[in-house]
Amino acid sequence: EAQVTQNPRYLITVTGKKLTVTCSQNMNHEYMSWYRQDPGLGLRQIYYSMNVEVTDKGDVPEGYKVSRKEKRNFPLILESPSPNQTSLYFCASKIGQGAGNTIYFGEGSWLTVV
């Protein structure tokens, strides 16, 4: 079954404590991306990767890091989380380049920073 899997699904953490949200896809997609969803703001892109070792900033990259060492994995790293990073995070993937390919979203990770 085609899947984008992210973990953890729910996390409460404290300000400044580094955390990583993992993302893995089994569809051999070149393109992967991270979004955050906040009320009234929709889905905003944090970082994206067009292939292994190729990453780039999205609209709201501040406070986040990513890496793409393998095609299937695209972890999101919060080096020093702050309360304004409390949000619902979605990992996504799609085949190839170009916006015209269907995006597959993971199930989302609810992150609360206190």
Partner 1 sequence: GENVEQHPSTLSVQEGDSAVIKCTYSDSASNYFPWYKQELGKRPQLIIDIRSNVGEKKDQRIAVTLNKTAKHFSLHITETQPEDSAVYFCAAGVTGGGNKLTFGTGTQLKVEL
- Per CB under 8 A, residues contacting partner 1 are 31, 35, 40-45, 48, 50, 90, 97-100, 102-103, 105-108
Of the candidates 26, 24, 44, 48, the one whose C-alpha atom is nearest the C-alpha of residue 35 is 44
| Pairing of the two strands 10-13 and 109-113 | parallel
In the bound complex, what is the minimum distance in angstroms from residue 67's beta carbon to partner 1?
Answer: 18
How many CA atoms are closer than 13 Å to the CA of 94, on its beta-carbon side?
13
Q: Which is nearer to partner 1, 35 or 64 (CB)?
A: 35
In the bound complex, what is the minimum distance in angstroms from residue 91's beta carbon to partner 1?
Answer: 10
In the bound complex, what is the minimum distance in angstroms from residue 88's beta carbon to partner 1?
Answer: 10
Q: Provide the β-strand partners of residue 92.
A: 33, 105
